[in-house]
A and B are shown apart, each in its own frame.
Chain A
């Protein structure tokens, strides 16, 4: 699990650094970054990515559209995606789930919450692929 390569997608450099550091703390040191959905798709095509953590609000391509693009592409369709966002209305969560996000965290989050979410997603993905 420690060799997991995680793509962090957020337009805020502060949040990217916070997530990177939190991931290091909980045992996921291998990360790459993108500032929006469009850049994330480019990163996906240019190298191996095992997991995506994305924000919702971003310029050029937001997190929701990124999820839809990833799910529509047979190569990446099964990639685990966790959304971390300030969007917290019921409508938002349902919209994200309908776009087939694996899980959802509200900001502010703790490293422990992040760890539980990632491990939860990985368990689900393993079960469904077995």
Chain B
């Protein structure tokens, strides 16, 4: 073995020494990593179980929300149908009342009755019972004139019609609710998609089912209260009108 060969062996020995030193340093780190993995393994299993449940439950929850919106829409349609019928009926009754049909029918019957009572009184030769009947009839006529039923009835019917309109307008809540639910569903869907990205390569979990309907998503409708938002809209409209927007 010559000098050159000895130097080569020494160089290789030095390399082996470095490798062993490196190994001595890295082995504890690797041991720690293995230990850590052993420790978190149950947590990963738990997470996997949670994700499996989430991936099944998220589409289920979305489906339930869709059914809620469908049911409220159906109910709204039924209420609107009934209100339409009520308003139409009230229209007919109001027309009848205001055109005086009811009053004139009553007037004809009253006049006829008055004529019969008068004839009875005359024919009876002023019989006391018949005279009493005539007096009772006269009192009845006076009370009828005082009550003024037609105008009262007309006012009440119009009030009822206004109530129907108010109920109809209140049904806007169905559309507002549907849009808010749509917004929640969009958020749920986005979270589910992110969860799926995180889990890709780690676990096999059921794929997120796309939501069955694409509900519109309002932009931060819950930012402020309804009244405040309306004020803000009006203020912006005023600015726009003044050319300040």
Chain A residues within 8 Å of B, Cβ to Cβ: 12-15, 17-18, 21-22, 25, 56-59, 85-94, 97-98, 103-111, 124
Q: B178 contacts the other chain (Cβ, under 8 Å)?
A: yes
**Cβ distance A36 to chain B, nearest Cβ, rounded Å:** 11
Q: B196 contacts the other chain (Cβ, under 8 Å)?
A: no
Point out the residue from A14, A90, A104 that lies within 8 Å of B76, measured CB to CB. A14
Q: B230 contacts the other chain (Cβ, under 8 Å)?
A: yes
A-B contact list, 30 entries, CB within 8 Å:
A14-B80, A15-B175, A17-B80, A17-B84, A17-B168, A18-B168, A18-B171, A18-B172, A22-B165, A22-B168, A85-B218, A86-B218, A87-B218, A87-B219, A88-B224, A88-B233, A89-B219, A91-B219, A93-B232, A94-B236, A97-B237, A97-B245, A103-B237, A104-B236, A104-B237, A106-B230, A106-B233, A108-B176, A109-B172, A111-B165
Instruction: Assess whether B171 is in contact with A14, with CB atoms less than 8 Å apart.
Output: yes
How distant is the Cα of A85 from the Cα of B233 in the complex, in angstroms?
Answer: 11
CB contacts (< 8 Å) of B179 on chain A: these are: 57, 86
Instruction: Assess whether A14 is in contact with B174, with CB atoms less than 8 Å apart.
Output: yes
How distant is the Cα of A56 from the Cα of B176 in the complex, in angstroms?
Answer: 12
How distant is the Cα of A108 from the Cα of B167 in the complex, in angstroms?
Answer: 12
**Cβ distance A126 to chain B, nearest Cβ, rounded Å:** 15
In the complex with contacts A87-B221, A88-B232, A89-B223, A59-B214 CB distance below 8 A: yes
CB contacts (< 8 Å) of A14 on chain B: these are: 73, 76-77, 80, 171-172, 174-175
**Cβ distance A9 to chain B, nearest Cβ, rounded Å:** 14
Extra 5 A-B pairs, beta carbons < 8 Å, given A12-B174, A18-B171, A22-B168: A12-B178, A14-B171, A88-B226, A89-B219, A108-B170
Chain B residues within 8 Å of A, Cβ to Cβ: 73, 76-77, 80, 84, 87, 165, 168-176, 178-180, 182, 214, 216-221, 223-224, 226, 229-230, 232-233, 236-237, 240-241, 245
Instruction: Assess whether A57 is in contact with B217, with CB atoms less than 8 Å apart.
Output: yes
